[in-house]
Structure 1
Amino acid sequence: METSSKELFTHVNQLWNLLDDLAESNPESYKKFIQQQLKEGKEIWASPEPQFCLETRILKPKERKLFINFCQWKRIPSPQSATHPVPIRVGKPEDMSETSDIYTVINVAFNPDILQAAEKDQVRKNELIQMVIKCIEEKLHFTLSHSYHTTNFRIKGNIQRVKQNLMGLQTDLKEKTRKELTLNQISSTMSNSNDLPQLLLTKEQNSNKGRCLIEEISSTEAPMEIKRPVYELKVIEEQNKKPLKMELKVELPGINSVSLCDLHVSEEDLLIEVPEKYRLHLNLPERADVEMTTAKFIKEKATLIVTIALAQEKLM
């Protein structure tokens, strides 16, 4: 580690010397270089943006629902030409087993141009979806149903979680960028798309149902264990058995402040996250009124209590 740090420090000094020399000898080239790096850097660190969600089924190894979130992401480069592979980012599958509903969520990301073109051409969109299904099968060794439908919601789950899932796969790229610190290497690293999985979408391959090429990206970081906390969710009813509200109690040992908890509620589900410690995702038994939902934290018991109001039609 000490040797690596010394080598990195040497490369950094060399980089700064190169930039200083360039600034003095050719100010215009220096200015263009800096502007280009800022532009490319902005695209690299941009967040994925969900576009639409697909529902299908995993048939093997274990049958369950599968939701695929299709996202656009400026970080993903465009294909070099119409006959070149289309780069795709495939996130790690997340299994959800809340109440009686069991399903898996997988996030995929493309360059914005790819999804925008697909939205304008239904045939192209169907081909893209089928290729994604095939890629997931090959990458994760799943057998999927090729029957699917687009959901009426844009994203399954929580948008912050989707971003973390996709952006968490950049570890190797960031390490590579930090280590390869020479003037030419920085420029090539910013524009290199070889580290991304490739999805082949050529006309010839589409006509033959094609195949996709996946290049695995391994992370150098050890996965951190995120615990599912103990919880109790109940529907509070009136005397005539009519639902009045929902109440959720979550035990969070070791947490002493509500500021450490991230709470996200939609009409259909709820997500509680304590970074690097706890995660709880629940499908709600009744539709929620998000704006009227409240939460309080009992510090002495390290317990979060969420009172979830019901949507108006449930109360009428």
Structure 2
Amino acid sequence: MDASSKGLFTQITQFWNLLDDLAESDPERYDKFIKWQLKEGKQFCAAPEPQLCLQTKILKPREKILFINLCQWKRIPAPQSNTHPVPLSIGRPEDMSETSDVFTVIDVAYNPDVLQAAEKDQKKRDQLIQMAMKCIEERLQITLSHIYHITKFRIKGSIQRMKQNLMGIQTDFPDLRQKMRKEIGLEQIGNSTMSNPDHFPQLLLTKDQVSDKTGCLIQEISSTEIQKEMKIPTYELKIVKDQNEKPLKIELKVELPGIDSISLCDLSVSEDDLLIEDSEKYRLHLNLPELVNTEMTTAKFIKENATLIITMPLV
């Protein structure tokens, strides 16, 4: 480790000496080289940006409100193909409070192309959200409620806090050249890069990409497992109105081919969302267009055509 650090430090010193020589002998070429490097490094140095915020609950070990900030970050690679796992980065959980409310915030980052592809596709968006929740559960050894709703605000907490959490470094950078030219001892380099391993991005990798040295920094979920869990059934949702066009209730018809009994499914209805889960085949999560009366909600399963009909009177 000491030998490799000394070698790296020597290479950095030689590199800066070459740049100094180039700046003196050929300023124009030096300027072009620096501009090219800045352009190439823009993606790597880009900070994460907030996309949307979810509210759910931590159920175990202790019940608490949880906000998940879904962010886009160019530093996170896009998946190699549709059959490869989707890389993501998970920040440290942070406890916060507003007046008397105490809650936890976790920042999760995906590649921008991944989030943009899911913007207008509810199925893809739900897949990403559920994958993020599963990764959080596995990494932190907690149990989450998988019923969530998307908040009206894009981020919980400050953007500065989110950037520092995901990037693991201060967001106010001094001049890079001066920073690299500053004399730093090898012991200081080791302390600054290894003292907090939680700051490193946590990526989903395929088995052939995982080495024994990565240890618990790598979480893995196979793409086939995700696809199996996230199959969304065909459904029809409508608002029933009276003669005066006043909304009365919401009716939801869900087709569940292969389901012989409603006992095989879990149904959860809150005032503003609904979740239907079957561990083997289906999962459907919907944000309801109107607030409903959960106590008056009824469900009927028609076995002949495997259709579940849920009637939800409005509040």
| TM-score normalized by the length of structure 2 | 0.50
- The alignment's TM-score, normalised by the length of structure 1, stands at 0.50
Q: Which has the larger radius of gyration?
A: 2
